[in-house]
Chains A and B, each alone.
Chain A
């Protein structure tokens, strides 16, 4: 597993664009909102806007999650040769989160402030993003695994994955809103954790099944 992690980390460093682009997108789109629609900058709308942008960022980042390995044949090899393909998938998902969700946990709260959240809410927002973004990586991985073979899979990926994101969006936005208002966010914390745990239970298996199907499509 450590060997896998190291290889994934190296691949990540090599493909810096894959990391920078989604983050850049998040920054850009937030800026767009602030510039083009200053009326929306308020603590009321900030929670929903921030989370929606995080979702869209994740969608962008998911597209290439398995594509490079799929095209190069490494994916097929891993599924056949790896001792425990399950671990390989889990490692990939974890690294995907490291390159998106993890970073978003740190920059997201400040973007929230840009969008109108009070600064006091920053820790709460970070917590919400930290609890919710793993679910996005996990659930998104399912959609990515099934659509990796499609030439224009991006739209289908979005169609499959956004309904899966919806509960995380609702509770995540609820947590951010609660943090902004200063009320207790324990219900949202529980819900987000539960969703992420459920995603952890389901996603690796579903991803593995999806990858096996996609590989046969080549």
Chain B
């Protein structure tokens, strides 16, 4: 009984029409939630969290840098998972999801790199360091650009989807390998790099705003990805009757 309804759910998940109908109601709400969380987290982190006695006030950049870096990686892994699902189950929505994650992923990775650099300058004295996290994020950016370039080069939609899925999957496997290998390299070449890799335990007044900001960023990403997915579905299914009916029934509510 359970497996039958799960199967039905799985089939529904593959249906673009069902997806648009399902998300009609609460995409906007997600957007508002993410806005509230963003403002709440930013205000808390900027104005109310106690300053770090070593780093001073520059640590507040953490409240935008860390969520951005986390999101950058999550979005790529999301693309990899979407690619896998698309290749194995031939789900149309999978490539739609991959398409939706790509632009946001690229800019968020660039933001993570930029904010990390801005954080590094006053805190540790340099705009850039070669350690596990910076190199991983930099390579992540190139992984995004690679998929972008690949997609631009392939005209056929189905082939583009399969090629992106393949590259995204391989890239996803690569991410932890790169992180580990750079960190290993660091233990040989930078034996005493404090601050870059060590994270002293944070009091709750300092990591609670971070939690809020992480939730905020992820909610925002969910919002953007859903909007882009809906756009892409409508674009692809433009001639379909259900689209016309959906429009007539009021369209985006």
A residues near B (Cβ < 8 Å) are 142, 146-147, 150, 153, 155-156, 159-160, 162-164, 166-167, 170-171, 174, 187, 191, 195, 198, 202, 206, 209-210, 213, 216-217
Chain A residues, Cβ within 8 Å of B156: 216-217
Nearest chain A CB to B113 CB, angstrom units: 15
Nearest chain B CB to A203 CB, angstrom units: 9
Whether A174 and B142, one on each chain, are in contact in the complex, defined by CB atoms closer than 8 angstroms, is no
Instruction: A155 to B142: give the CA distance in the assembly, Å.
Output: 12
Q: Does B163 contact A (CB under 8 A)?
A: yes
B residues near A (Cβ < 8 Å) are 87, 139, 142-143, 145-146, 149-150, 153-154, 156, 159, 162-163, 166-167, 170-171, 173-174, 177-178, 180-182, 184-185, 188
Chain B residues, Cβ within 8 Å of A150: 153
Q: How many A-B residue pairs have CB under 8 A?
A: 72
Question: Which of B163, B170, B185, B188 is packed against the most chain A CB atoms within 10 Å?
Answer: B170
Whether B153 and A213, one on each chain, are in contact in the complex, defined by CB atoms closer than 8 angstroms, is no
Chain B interface SS verdict (over half):
helix
Whether B170 and A206, one on each chain, are in contact in the complex, defined by CB atoms closer than 8 angstroms, is yes
Nearest chain A CB to B87 CB, angstrom units: 8
Shortest beta-carbon contacts, A-B, top 4: A167-B181, A159-B146, A170-B181, A160-B146
Whether B142 and A162, one on each chain, are in contact in the complex, defined by CB atoms closer than 8 angstroms, is yes
Whether A164 and B162, one on each chain, are in contact in the complex, defined by CB atoms closer than 8 angstroms, is no
When C-beta atoms are compared, the residue in chain A nearest to B148 turns out to be: A159
Contact status of A163 and B163, CB under 8 A, knowing A156-B149, A156-B153, A206-B170:
no
